[in-house]
Amino acid sequence: IDYTGLTVGGKSEAEYLASKDEESRTSWAGDKGGIDTEFGRVLTEKTTEAGVSVVKATGPGDAPFMIRPKVEFIEGGIYTYVFNKASQVRMKVQITTPDGKVIDEIAVTHGTPASITNPAIGNRLRDDGEALGAIVAGYIKLRVKGAE
């Protein structure tokens, strides 16, 4: 996943991180890694179930098409006993030829409610990555196989 130009809440990622201590910055990197891991895992699983092969590319000639996800906005949300705010991840996904020609582009968003059973930002963002992987897999299945 590309995070270039990411906005966190109402701030650039650099501004967001500047207000955090070292432990929080490390946690943030892990949270973004969790989005990546869950998005890729579910995208691969769901497309495989649909009979579509999606693999992690190591170079431009690996496949006839490339899936290029880019997260543009993250809201981590908040959990307190008084006030809760859901997480939100907004992603644009381009389908391109290996040389970068854009064939298709979609925008997808997912949010996960903050609750007593899911209070941690990192867990909510991983849930968002998982859901976004499923949404994109469904779209790819539709594009490849059509409506069934």
Taking only the tens of pLDDT, the chain with its 148 residues reads 999 999 999 999 999 999 999 999 999 999 999 999 999 999 999 999 999 988 887 776 778 899 999 999 999 999 998 899 999 999 999 999 988 899 999 999 999 999 999 999 999 999 999 999 999 999 999 988 887 6
Q: What secondary structure letter does DSSP report for 82?
A: S
List beta partners, residue 109.
90
pLDDT for position 109: 98
| pLDDT of amino acid 63 | 82
Binning the chain into helix, strand and coil, the percentages to the nearest 5 are 40, 25, 35
pLDDT for the residue numbered 99: 87
Question: Are the beta carbons of 87 and 121 closer than 8 angstroms?
Answer: yes
Six token digits for residue 124: 């909510």
**Looking at the DSSP assignment, which residues form a beta bridge with residue 102?**
96
Q: In 2-144, where do the E strands start and end?
A: 7-8, 11-12, 66-75, 78-79, 84-85, 88-96, 102-110
Strand order in the sheet with 88-96: 11-12, 7-8, 66-75, 88-96, 102-110
At 114 the pLDDT is 94
Beta bridge mates, 95: 67, 104
